[in-house]
Structure 1
């Protein structure tokens, strides 16, 4: 289904049901497992979890999350953040890095959607990629919306599917997955590292995020 056709369907459904009604009675879904049980050993990767600032936690409005730094050797580190929203019906919408990163002083140099292969899961998914720069330091960000059985790389389509699923599934829960790695040598090597970690962590994500 093309974005144009999806948008038309959403407009028709909203006109029939009313946006307030759509979001007022959504079922509150819980993670399959609490993220406090997220493993800190994934194949060759070893992780150290961390806690976000309480003020940031309240602003984000997440019900559960994991934030950790994983490494499999010198110069091979990836930061992961997964935020789970039980309901997005009362203004607690998933925040996009395109809004948050500039607020933290990072300039978005490049923004694109790319496919990555996940051999361990036997699939290829499309994710959003950002190249960031701050005072000469570069980072590559991979992120996607892991919501209600879908992998979504577009903020626009995330909002459309949120409305559709609130109607057809009575659900507005959702998760956001973000991977960040600093550029040590070049962007290509950093992307290879991020893709390797994504391949390792993806099966574990499905143990926590409900379909």
Structure 2
């Protein structure tokens, strides 16, 4: 049987959590509408096609797919390095800290299987030494399509916080909004094909390197191109 003091403590924690959530919702409803959108000069499609030895080409993304994904803008590119390393990159962008009436980003563990991909394995992976963020915990998936396998990472990212969990991303956005600390929101998904017989650890090394080098380019791109819409 649970001791009375422990039970009272649990009730008090639940009560305080509920009060905090109510305060968050109330504060958001009053404050977030005044936060200006953070736009990108020239659009996200101007994201660099060359950085740290990676060379890429942009790929078309159907605007309807972008809207359905919950993003306002997107970038898709196919990058190669050393004539054999290959990574496809998708970026989804939202220009405001919190929009209660809009869809949030859809996770690929839902949309990729709906497109015919088969989830072979799903787990958590930590990319270390990422510029400005340190360690980033991402969702890692091994996906199969038409007999070939690919390694997929994805995560969600504000200007200074990153997470693999969409619910935690919402919480981060809520904190930004309450503090009136304006931010964008990003969904980031790199994919690399697994070569026949290639060990997953080798593909992870390739992806981790790409994430670190891409992040340096992304942070500089946002620093140079972002502005608040007035």
With the length of structure 2 as denominator, give the TM-score of the two structures: 0.76
Contact kept in structure 1, 2:92 and 2:187, CA below 8 Å = yes
Counterpart for residue 48 of structure 1: 57
Q: Is structure 2 residue 109 aligned with structure 1 residue 98? A: yes
Structure 2 residue corresponding to 1:118, chosen from 124, 129, 146:
129
Structure 1 residue corresponding to 2:19, chosen from 12, 15, 26:
12
- Higher Cα Rg: structure 1 or 2? 2
C-alpha deviation, 1:70, in angstroms: 0.2
C-alpha deviation, 1:55, in angstroms: 2.0
1:81 and 1:105 map into 2 onto residues whose CA distance is 18
* Contiguous gaps of at least 5 residues in structure 2: 1-13
Kindly report the root-mean-square deviation, in angstroms, between the aligned alpha carbons of the 2 structures. 2.9
Counterpart for residue 4 of structure 1: none
Deviations 1:71-95 (A, max 9, x none): 0144411001111112341223111
Contact kept in structure 1, 2:158 and 2:172, CA below 8 Å = no
1:105 and 1:147 map into 2 onto residues whose CA distance is 30
Note closer, same or farther for the CA distance 1:25–1:186 as it changes in structure 2 (3 Å cut): same
Structure 2 residue corresponding to 1:142, chosen from 133, 140, 153:
153
Note closer, same or farther for the CA distance 1:152–1:41 as it changes in structure 2 (3 Å cut): same
Structure 1 residue corresponding to 2:206, chosen from 166, 171, 193:
193
Q: Which moved more, 1:22-31 or 1:190-199?
A: 22-31
Counterpart for residue 33 of structure 2: 25
Number of aligned residues: 205
* Contiguous gaps of at least 5 residues in structure 1: 1-6
SS in 2 for 1:25: helix
C-alpha deviation, 1:164, in angstroms: 3.0
C-alpha deviation, 1:199, in angstroms: 1.7
With the length of structure 1 as denominator, give the TM-score of the two structures: 0.82
Structure 1 residue corresponding to 2:164, chosen from 134, 153, 164:
153
C-alpha deviation, 1:120, in angstroms: 6.3
1:24 and 1:140 map into 2 onto residues whose CA distance is 37
SS in 1 for 2:38: coil
Note closer, same or farther for the CA distance 1:75–1:17 as it changes in structure 2 (3 Å cut): closer
Contact kept in structure 1, 2:32 and 2:178, CA below 8 Å = no
2:202 and 2:40 map into 1 onto residues whose CA distance is 34
1:172 and 1:151 map into 2 onto residues whose CA distance is 12
Counterpart for residue 64 of structure 1: 73
1:21 and 1:177 map into 2 onto residues whose CA distance is 28
Contact kept in structure 2, 1:31 and 1:208, CA below 8 Å = no
